[in-house]
Structure 1
Amino acid sequence: MRDENNTKQDRNEEEEGTAIEPRTNPDRPQRQFYIPSQIVSEFAEKGREHLKKPFTSQFLLAITAGAFMTFGAAFSILLALGVEAKGIYYLLSGFGFAAGYAMVFISGSVLFTEANVLVPTYLFNSFSYERRSILKFWLSAYIGNIVGAVLVAIAIKLSGSLSEPFYTELSMYIENKMKFLKHGTVGWFQILLSGILANWLIGMAAFLTTAARDITGKILGTALPVILFVAGNFQHSAANMGYFSLGILSKPDYTWYEFIFFNLIPASIGNIIGGAILVSLLFSYAYREDIKEALGNK
């Protein structure tokens, strides 16, 4: 009876992707994370789940994600406020923004840049989908993120909770993100390329978060790539929605037109390319046989 129970337990652990070695080898610890092929399979499954949700659910979850982006933007500024040492400044700023992403990933909210990884992964590994539903989902995610970011920015401004030094520091953040404007057409394409790099990193944040099997691991997996993209000033459209929403309500040096057409649009295009190609397509192709077996698409 004991051997039978152990066999059932081993089978359950293998199905959950948590066992790397059978119990006949007690010297090897059990694996506490998903392997890459399992992660990509999870991406495809999450992409399918997002597309199947009713539009109202998609939009509400997108608003929630946008709200978390503004909270993350505010926290990144507050943590690094007054810090002179650049290394510590970037570390604290990135860790602050990671709080917003952790809330998004763990709550299941719909973030445009995460959708750039999940939906293409589903499409690359499935032949049954409707283009209209995909376009509707992508638009609801993008618009919902903007709405959520603006609503929280308005609430923060009306609350009067943040002092003048916060808004002074915010203007420096925005100036750094809008510096490409001085380069004209070349700057537009620099933002696009920077957006590719940003969503590559955010895709890896989703990758590491999905791999982790506990909350601590998920938060750490989220934080590392986010700290890197914040420190590198890579242009991430969802993050910029948070910063710009706060900035447009204070004393902006730029107009909403400049924010949208000379940052958000090229950054968003780059984000789609970075997520879909450098994460979804790359890993879907590399692990295509394992993924087909996991998804039952033999």
Structure 2
Amino acid sequence: MDYKKPFEIVSGMVQASLDKAALNTKDLLVRGMLSGALLGFGTTLAIAATVQTKLPIIGAIIFPAGFIIIVLLGLELVTGNFASMPMGNFAGVISWQQTFRNWILVFTGNLLGSLLYAALFWISITKMGTEDGGAIAAAIRKIAVAKTTGYAAIGSAGMVTVFTKAILCNWMVTLGVVMGMCSNSTQGKILAAWLPIFIFFAQGFEHAVVNMFVIPEGIFLGAEVTYKDWWVYNQIPVTFGNIAGGLIFTGLALYITYGSKPSKKVKEIIPHHTREAEEVN
């Protein structure tokens, strides 16, 4: 398997931040919607496998399929961008305004795509509301409760727990993005990106985009969870935890040790991409 050195990967992430900053609103929203839906597909696949085998580890092994498709197609996932966009800020080649624009638009796209898949999956599993959805629906309802009122039931300890699990989650998820850049081959990207995603999912950490699907899907299926519960006890603290995990433990940490001196190649592309980003914004 071909392999890129860490210095090359971090330089590539700086370049990626420039490319992402130059994307127009339509591209960010469409690519974000596709990513949200694809993670929804991966989530229902993992839940179905867990229900069928009664082995959660099997679900964790196959869950990364959706993420790998996102990596191979170069789509937009806000949790990955919580690490990749700040690389450009640390290198001084994009502004924080450009980063926040990307995060807001991609978050919106991820949410829309997740809700679209949730609605379509609800139709599929309940036959347009004529059935209860069986064991898979029951598992989704249980997950939705555990991720919201389950944390609320233990007060401040629940909020600290969900925030911490979000940090740990996106430490691994953003490494999935990084590892996907360590190879030029399709096989290399698949294997490298799979490993950190498997690690996060197998341990039940909290991912903002996965939760954009699984919690509203639980609500659609009749879980005793409100939309307020979803946002207050999960989506908001998980999003900020994912930002901390990706920005600090992947973006900042890797930039400090490998990217404080961008390669000549990255320096050469900075003026060109900076002009493109300014024109878009």
The TM-score range, normalised by the shorter chain, is 0.7 to 0.9
Residue 286 of structure 1: how far off its partner (Å): 0.3
In structure 2, do the counterparts of structure 1 residues 168 and 197 end up closer, same or farther at CA, with 3 Å as the change threshold? same
Of 189, 202, 205, the match for 2:160: 189
TM-score, with structure 2 as normaliser? 0.87
Contact 2:89–2:96 (Cα < 8 Å) also in 1: no
Does structure 2 retain, via aligned residues, the 8 Å contact 1:79–1:93? Answer: yes
Q: 1:150 maps to what in 2?
A: 115
Instruction: In structure 2, give the amino acid aligned to 1:261.
Output: V
Amino acid at match of 1:35: K
2:252 equivalent to 1:287? no
| Cα deviation 1:181-224 (Å, max 9, x = unaligned) | 22212211221111111110001111211112222222222222
Alpha-carbon separation, structure 1, partners of 2:57 and 2:11: 32
In the other structure, the counterpart of 1:134 is 99
Q: Residue type matched to 2:90 in 1? A: F
* Correspondence 1:114-263 to 2 at 5 A: 114-126=80-92, 128-160=93-125, 163-178=133-148, 179-263=150-234
RMSD: 2.0
Contact 1:188 1:266 in 2 (8 A): yes
Could you tell me which residue of structure 2 aligns to residue 35 of structure 1? 5
Give the whole-Å Cα distance in 2 for the aligned partners of 1:59 and 1:287.
Answer: 31
CA–CA distance in structure 1, aligned partners of residues 218 and 37 of structure 2: 15
Query: Which structure 1 segments of 5+ residues have no match?
Result: 1-30
Aligned to 1:107: 73
Q: How many angstroms apart in 1 are the aligned matches of 2:258 and 2:193? A: 23
Q: Deviations over 1:42-89 (max 9, x none)?
A: 1111111111011111111111111111111111111111333xxxx2
User: Match for residue 62 of structure 2?
Assistant: 96
Q: Give the TM-score taking structure 1 as reference length.
A: 0.82
AA paired with 2:118? A
AA matched with 1:220: L
CA deviations 1:97-127 (Å, max 9, x no partner) are: 211111111111111101101101111112x
Counterpart of 2:158, as a letter, is G
Q: CA deviation at 1:247?
A: 1.3
Partner of 2:27: 57
- Alignment partners' CA distance in 2, 1:181 and 1:228: 26
Q: Which amino acid aligns with 2:142?
A: M
Deviation at 1:96, TM superposition (A): 2.9
Determine if contact 2:172/2:196 at 8 Å carries over to the other structure.
yes
Match for residue 278 of structure 2?
Answer: none
SS of equivalent residue, structure 1 residue 168? helix
Contact in 2 for aligned 1:70/1:149 (Cα 8 Å): yes
Give the secondary structure class of the aligned counterpart of 2:181: helix
Identity %: 22
2:144·2:223 contact (CA, 8 Å) conserved in 1? no
Equivalent pair of 2:91/2:260 in contact (CA under 8 Å): no
What amino acid maps onto 2:248 in structure 1? I
SS in 1 for 2:4: coil
In 2, Cα distance between equivalents of 1:60 and 1:196 = 27
> Contact 1:90–1:227 at 8 Å: present in 2 too?
no
How far did 1:160 drift?
4.1
Q: Aligned residues, how many?
A: 263
Larger Rg: 1
2-structure distance, mates of 1:256, 1:289: 43
